[in-house]
C-alpha cells in the first residue's frame, strides 16, 4: 500500500435512480400515481362522510347550504394545502433530490455551522409523528374499503373486522418478498381507481350541476359562520381529505418533482374533485341517506367491483406508508438517532426497496390492535388527524429555516406564504386536538414513545462517546510511540473501526496489550454519515498516511445509502491501496455496557439505553463485513 495524503478515491459516476432519461417520464408518472397518491386517493372513502356526520347530516335531512359548505371546505383545503403548499413550495426544498422530514431537517441543519439541537428536535418530532400516521393509515384505509360490504350485503357485517385483519396480516406478511414483483401493477390499479372515482362522480354531477357552486369559497366561510358550535369538529373531518399529502414530499427522491406534479394535475386532483362533487350531488338529491355516500352513489352493478377495487387501492396506499416507515427508519439509523437495525434489500437493482423485519412486525401488531380497538373507520377518523397535522406544522417550521438561510427569501415573502398556511394548519391541528380523548391520544402516545426512545439513544450515545474518549489514548501520540519502538510485525492488513477520529481505537489498544504485535498495514477506519442523501464514489473515501505502519481512512456514506465497508474500501484501489479482503482482518470493539451506580444518567434511562444498544444489529452485519474476517475484542464500559 503506497503512502498517500489527503486524496479521495476516484470512480465512475453513478446516475441517480430517478433519472428521467433512464426510466422515462411516463413510467415515473405512473409510479407516482400508484405510490405517492395512494393514501390521499383513498380519502374519498371516508372524508366527506365523516364531515357530514359531524355536521348532523347522518341519517336525517340536510340543507344544501350545509352540503355545499362542507364541500367547499374540502375543495379549498385541497387547493391551498396540497396544490399551494406541497406542489407549489415544499417540493422545491429537495436535499439533493431527496425529500421527507429527516431530509428537510438535514438540509436545515447543514445551513448552520453548529448544527443546533432545536433543529434536530423538530426533525425528531416530525419523524415520530410519521410513525403514528403509518400505524393508522393501513387500519383506516383497509377498514373503510371493506365496510362497503354493509352497502352491498348487510348480512355480512360481522365479517368486516375479521376480513380486515386477514388483509392487513397478509399485507405485512408479503413485505419480506419486496415490492419489485407487484410494483408494476400499483400504478395501473391506482389509475383505474382514480378514473372510476372520477367517472362515477361525474355521473352524479351531470344529474345535479348546481353542486359546482361549491367552488365559491364563500360557501365554506358561510358554513363556518353559521355553524360555530360544530366548526372545530367539522374541520377535523375535512382534514381527512388531505391525509397523505406528506407523501408527496417524502417520495420526492423516488420519482422526482416533475412526475409528481404532472400526476397531480393530470389525473389525481381532477378525479378527487369529481368524486367529492359527485358525493355532494348525491347527498343533495338523497339527503336522507348519507350513511356512506361513496358507495351509495354508485350504480348497483358497480358496487361489488368497487368494493374490490377500493380494497386493492387501500392495500396499495398502505404499502406506500409501510415502505415510507422502512425508509424513514433507515435514515434515522444512518443519522445515528436510532440504534442499528437489520436492513434487507429485496431488489438487486432498486436501492430504495428494503425490508426491515423489526419495523414490519411492530407496525403489523399496532395496526391489528387499532382495528380491534376502534372497530370502525369512523372511530379511527378521530385518531387520524393529530399526527398528520403535527407533521405538517413541523414541515412548515423547517421550511421557514430553509427559506431564510438557503433560499434567502425576504421576510415579507416568507410571511405572505407561511402565515396563511400556518394559520390554516393550526386551525386543523386544534380541531384534531379536540378529539384527543376520542382516539387522538393513540398517535400522540406513539409519537411520544418514539421521540423519547430517540432522545434516550442520542443522550446515551453522547455520554458513551464522552466516557470512551476520556479513557482513550490520543491516536497521534500512540502512532509516534509505536514508530519509535515497534513491536513484532506480522503480515497482512488490520482495519480498526472507530467513531472517534482523534482517539486510538479501543480494539487497537487491547490488541497491543494482549497480542503485542502489529500488522504491516494498520488502518484506522471511521464511518461518517453525510447530511446529503448520497455521496458520489469519488468523494466517498479519503486516506491519510501517518507513516509506513498507520493510515487514517474516512468513509462517508449518504444517509440514504446502505453502509458497505468492503465495497467502499475497494474504491481505494485507485489510490494505490491494493485492498484484498482475504488478507485483511477487521478489529471491532464489542462494548458491554453497565449502568453507573452513581452519577451519569437516571437509572431508568440507563437501562433503556443499554437495552437498545444490546438489541442493535451487530456492526459486522450492518456494515456488511465478512464474518470470517472479523475479530471482536470485548470491553466493559460503565455509563
pLDDT of the residue at 538? 84
Range in 10-14, 201-205, 563-567 the model is least confident about: 10-14
SS3 label, residue 58: coil
Out of 65-69, 176-180, 340-344, 587-591, give the one with best mean pLDDT: 65-69
Place of cell 400556518: 422
Range in 150-154, 380-384, 587-591, 600-604 the model is least confident about: 600-604
Q: Are 293 and 52 in contact (CB under 8 A)?
A: yes
Residue 345 to residue 620: CA distance in whole angstroms = 17
Residue 495, judged by CB atoms within 10 A of its CB (0-12, 13-18, 19+), counts as buried
Residue 170 to residue 368: CA distance in whole angstroms = 11
Q: Are 213 and 69 in contact (CB under 8 A)?
A: no
Q: Are 95 and 374 in contact (CB under 8 A)?
A: no
Residue 4 to residue 25: CA distance in whole angstroms = 44
pLDDT of the residue at 59? 46
Q: Are 309 and 152 in contact (CB under 8 A)?
A: no
Q: Which of 336, 384, 335, 338 is closest to 362 using CA atoms?
A: 338
Domain ranges of the chain: 7-13+473-638, 36-297+305-458
Q: Higher-confidence residue: 513 or 66?
A: 66
Place of cell 519509535: 484
pLDDT in tens, 100-152: 888 899 899 988 888 888 999 999 999 999 888 888 889 988 998 898 888 88
Residue 469 to residue 458: CA distance in whole angstroms = 16
Mean pLDDT of the chain: 85
Sequence-separated (6 or more) residues with CB below 8 Å from residue 217: 72, 76
Tell me how far the alpha carbon of residue 365 is from its chain's centroid: 19
Residue 479 to residue 486: CA distance in whole angstroms = 10
- In this structure, what C-alpha cell is assigned to residue 39? 393514501
pLDDT in tens, 398-409: 999 999 999 999
CA distances from 479 to 43, 498, 515 (A): 63, 15, 17
pLDDT exceeds cutoff 60 at 639? yes
Place of cell 392487513: 168
Place of cell 362522510: 49
Q: What is residue 571's DSSP assignment?
A: G
- In this structure, what C-alpha cell is assigned to residue 20? 428521467
Phi/psi at 532 (nearest 5 deg)?
A: -90, 150
pLDDT of the residue at 180? 53
Percent of the chain with pLDDT over 90: 34
CA distances from 616 to 21, 211, 244, 352, 363 (A): 40, 56, 31, 22, 18
Q: Residue 559: which H helix or E strand, with range? A: none
Place of cell 487514517: 552
pLDDT bin (cut points 50, 70, 90) of residue 17 is very low
Q: Name the architecture of domain 36-297+305-458.
A: Up-down Bundle (1.20)
- The dihedral through the CA atoms of 474, 475, 481, 482 has a sign that is positive
pLDDT exceeds cutoff 70 at 587? yes
- In this structure, what C-alpha cell is assigned to residue 472? 482513550
Q: Which of 429, 143, 113, 176 is closest to 307 using CA atoms?
A: 143
pLDDT exceeds cutoff 50 at 3? no
pLDDT exceeds cutoff 70 at 573? yes
Q: Higher-confidence residue: 211 or 1?
A: 211
pLDDT exceeds cutoff 70 at 23? no
Range in 5-9, 98-102, 342-346, 606-610 the model is least confident about: 5-9
pLDDT of the residue at 482? 85
Q: Higher-confidence residue: 258 or 324?
A: 258
Half-sphere exposure of 399 (CA within 13 A, CB side): 25
pLDDT of the residue at 167? 92
pLDDT in tens, 271-297: 999 999 999 999 998 876 578 899 999
Residue 316 to residue 321: CA distance in whole angstroms = 9
Sequence-separated (6 or more) residues with CB below 8 Å from residue 359: 325, 326, 329, 341
pLDDT exceeds cutoff 80 at 620? yes
Out of 141-155, 400-414, 606-620, give the one with best mean pLDDT: 400-414
pLDDT bin (cut points 50, 70, 90) of residue 502 is confident
Half-sphere exposure of 405 (CA within 13 A, CB side): 17
Phi/psi at 239 (nearest 5 deg)?
A: -65, -25
Q: Are 41 and 202 in contact (CB under 8 A)?
A: no
SS3 label, residue 354: strand
Q: What is the mean pLDDT of residues 317-328?
A: 82
Residue 460 to residue 133: CA distance in whole angstroms = 27
pLDDT bin (cut points 50, 70, 90) of residue 352 is low
pLDDT exceeds cutoff 60 at 349? no
With b meaning 16 or more CB within 10 Å and e meaning fewer, what string describes 410-445? Answer: eeeeeeebbeebbebbebbbebbbbbeeebbebbbe
pLDDT bin (cut points 50, 70, 90) of residue 181 is low
CA-angle at 329, arms to 188 and 391, nearest 5°: 80
Q: In what order do the strands lie in the sheet with 517-530?
A: 7-8, 541-545, 550-558, 517-530, 488-497, 584-594, 630-638
CA-angle at 430, arms to 424 and 431, nearest 5°: 90
Q: Which of 166, 161, 133 is closest to 147 using CA atoms?
A: 161
Residue 51 to residue 163: CA distance in whole angstroms = 26
pLDDT of the residue at 298? 93
For 178: left if phi > 0, alpha if psi spans -120 to 50, otherwise beta; the answer is: left
pLDDT of the residue at 428? 92
pLDDT bin (cut points 50, 70, 90) of residue 498 is confident
pLDDT bin (cut points 50, 70, 90) of residue 58 is very low
- The dihedral through the CA atoms of 185, 241, 250, 32 has a sign that is positive
Range in 79-93, 318-332, 345-359, 539-553 the model is least confident about: 345-359
Range in 17-21, 141-145, 233-237, 447-451 the model is least confident about: 17-21
pLDDT of the residue at 213? 95
Q: Higher-confidence residue: 444 or 465?
A: 444
Q: Higher-confidence residue: 175 or 214?
A: 214
Q: Which of 630, 637, 598 is closest to 614 using CA atoms?
A: 637
Residue 129 to residue 35: CA distance in whole angstroms = 20
Range in 298-302, 343-347, 431-435 the model is least confident about: 343-347
Residue 578 to residue 591: CA distance in whole angstroms = 31
- In this structure, what C-alpha cell is assigned to residue 493? 492488513
Alpha-carbon torsion angle 22, 28, 29, 34, nearest 10: 160
pLDDT in tens, 472-486: 788 888 888 888 888
Amino acid at each position: 500500500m503506497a503512502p498517500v495524503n489527503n486524496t479521495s478515491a476516484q470512480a465512475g459516476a453513478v446516475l441517480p435512480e430517478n433519472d428521467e432519461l433512464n426510466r422515462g417520464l411516463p413510467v415515473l408518472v405512473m409510479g407516482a400515481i400508484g405510490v405517492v397518491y395512494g393514501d390521499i386517493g383513498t380519502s374519498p372513502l371516508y372524508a366527506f362522510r365523516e364531515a357530514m356526520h359531524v355536521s348532523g347530516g347522518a341519517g336525517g335531512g340536510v340543507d344544501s347550504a350545509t352540503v355545499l359548505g362542507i364541500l367547499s371546505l374540502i375543495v379549498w383545503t385541497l387547493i391551498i394545502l396540497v396544490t399551494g403548499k406541497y406542489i407549489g413550495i415544499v417540493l422545491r426544498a429537495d436535499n439533493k433530490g431527496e425529500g421527507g422530514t429527516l431530509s428537510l431537517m438535514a438540509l436545515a441543519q447543514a445551513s448552520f455551522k453548529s448544527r443546533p439541537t432545536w433543529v434536530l428536535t423538530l426533525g425528531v418530532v416530525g419523524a415520530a409523528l410519521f410513525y403514528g400516521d403509518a400505524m393508522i393509515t393501513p387500519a383506516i384505509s383497509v377498514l373503510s374499503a371493506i365496510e362497503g360490504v354493509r352497502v352491498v350485503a348487510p348480512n355480512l357485517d360481522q365479517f368486516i373486522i375479521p376480513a380486515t385483519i386477514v388483509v392487513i396480516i397478509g399485507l405485512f406478511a408479503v413485505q419480506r418478498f419486496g415490492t419489485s414483483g407487484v410494483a408494476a401493477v400499483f400504478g395501473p390499479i391506482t389509475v383505474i381507481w382514480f378514473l372510476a372515482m372520477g367517472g362515477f362522480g361525474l355521473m352524479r354531477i351531470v344529474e345535479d350541476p348546481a353542486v359546482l357552486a361549491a367552488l365559491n369559497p364563500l360557501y365554506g366561510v358561510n358554513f363556518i359562520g353559521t355553524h360555530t358550535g360544530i366548526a372545530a369538529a367539522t374541520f377535523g373531518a375535512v382534514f381527512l381529505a388531505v391525509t397523505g399529502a406528506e407523501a408527496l414530499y417524502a417520495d420526492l427522491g423516488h420519482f422526482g418533482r416533475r412526475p409528481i406534479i404532472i400526476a397531480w394535475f393530470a389525473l389525481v386532483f381532477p378525479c378527487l374533485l369529481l368524486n367529492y362533487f359527485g358525493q355532494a350531488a348525491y347527498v343533495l338529491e338523497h339527503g336522507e341517506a348519507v350513511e356512506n355516500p361513496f358507495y351509495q352513489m354508485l350504480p348497483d352493478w358497480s358496487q361489488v367491483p368497487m368494493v374490490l377495487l377500493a380494497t386493492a387501492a387501500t392495500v396499495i396506499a398502505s404499502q406506500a406508508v409501510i415502505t415510507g416507515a422502512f425508509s424513514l427508519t433507515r435514515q434515522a439509523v444512518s443519522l445515528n438517532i436510532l440504534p442499528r437495525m437489520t436492513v434487507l434489500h429485496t431488489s438487486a437493482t432498486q436501492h430504495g426497496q428494503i425490508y426491515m423485519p423489526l419495523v414490519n412486525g411492530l407496525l403489523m401488531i399496532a395496526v391489528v390492535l387499532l382495528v380491534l380497538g376502534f372497530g370502525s373507520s369512523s372511530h379511527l377518523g378521530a385518531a387520524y388527524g393529530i399526527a398528520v397535522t403535527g407533521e405538517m406544522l413541523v414541515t412548515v417550521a423547517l421550511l421557514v429555516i430553509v427559506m431564510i438561510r438557503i433560499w434567502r427569501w425576504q421576510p415579507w415573502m416568507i410571511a405572505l406564504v407561511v402565515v396563511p398556511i400556518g394559520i390554516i394548519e393550526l386551525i386543523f391541528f386544534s380541531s384534531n386536538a379536540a378529539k384527543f380523548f376520542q382516539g387522538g391520544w393513540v398517535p400522540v402516545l406513539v409519537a411520544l414513545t418514539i421521540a423519547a426512545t430517540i432522545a434516550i439513544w442520542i443522550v446515551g450515545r453522547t455520554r458513551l462517546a464522552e466516557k470512551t474518549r476520556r479513557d482513550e489514548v490520543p491516536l497521534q501520540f500512540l502512532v509516534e510511540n509505536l514508530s519509535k519502538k515497534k513491536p513484532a510485525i506480522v503480515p497482512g492488513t488490520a482495519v480498526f473501526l472507530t467513531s472517534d477520529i482523534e482517539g486510538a481505537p479501543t480494539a487497537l489498544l487491547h490488541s497491543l496489550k494482549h497480542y503485542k504485535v502489529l500488522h504491516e498495514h494498520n488502518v484506522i477506519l471511521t464511518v461518517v454519515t453525510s447530511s446529503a442523501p448520497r455521496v458520489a464514489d469519488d468523494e466517498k473515501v479519503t486516506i491519510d498516511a501517518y507513516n509506513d505502519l498507520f493510515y487514517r481512512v474516512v468513509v462517508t456514506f449518504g444517509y440514504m445509502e446502505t453502509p458497505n465497508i468492503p465495497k467502499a474500501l475497494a474504491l481505494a484501489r485507485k489510490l494505490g491501496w491494493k485492498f484484498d479482503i482475504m488478507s485483511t482482518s477487521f478489529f471491532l470493539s464489542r462494548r458491554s455496557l453497565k449502568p453507573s451506580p452513581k452519577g451519569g444518567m437516571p437509572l431508568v434511562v440507563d437501562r433503556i439505553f443499554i437495552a437498545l444498544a444490546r438489541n442493535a444489529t451487530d456492526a459486522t452485519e450492518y456494515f456488511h463485513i465478512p464474518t470470517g474476517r472479523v475479530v471482536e475484542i470485548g470491553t466493559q464500559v460503565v455509563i
